[in-house]
Amino acid sequence: RKEVEQDPGPFNVPEGATVAFNCTYSNSASQSFFWYRQDCRKEPKLLMSVYSSGNEDGRFTAQLNRASQYISLLIRDSKLSDSATYLCVVTPSGNQFYFGTGTSLTVIP
């Protein structure tokens, strides 16, 4: 079983829409969780960390459900510039980072 699994999409949504991505992880001892954004042919960049209590940064909200072992990312009022691949990242015990396959988002005018 993969460490991290994501629906690859693609998600094609109109501007202004709300879109949500989920990501499941297999190691219940995982300690840290992140969402990264990757633009085509670029390196991933940290979007936000995911805390147990959930956290919000502007139009982006991240949630963690330890019982069901998944994390989610909600994007409200989608912008054209949100088009990218969103990667969830899970850190099991230790210093290793495991990436999901990424979910492709295209925001349509």
- Binding residues for another protein, rule: CB under 8 A, are 31-32, 34, 41-46, 49, 87, 89, 91, 94-102
CB of 99 to another protein, least distance (A): 5
Nearer to another protein, 25 or 34 (CB): 34
Nearer to another protein, 1 or 41 (CB): 41
CB of 60 to another protein, least distance (A): 15
DSSP string of 22-86? EEEES-TT--EEEEEEE-TTS--EEEEE--TT-EEETTEEEEEETTTTEEEEEE-S--GGG-EEE
Residue written as token pair 């990312």: 73
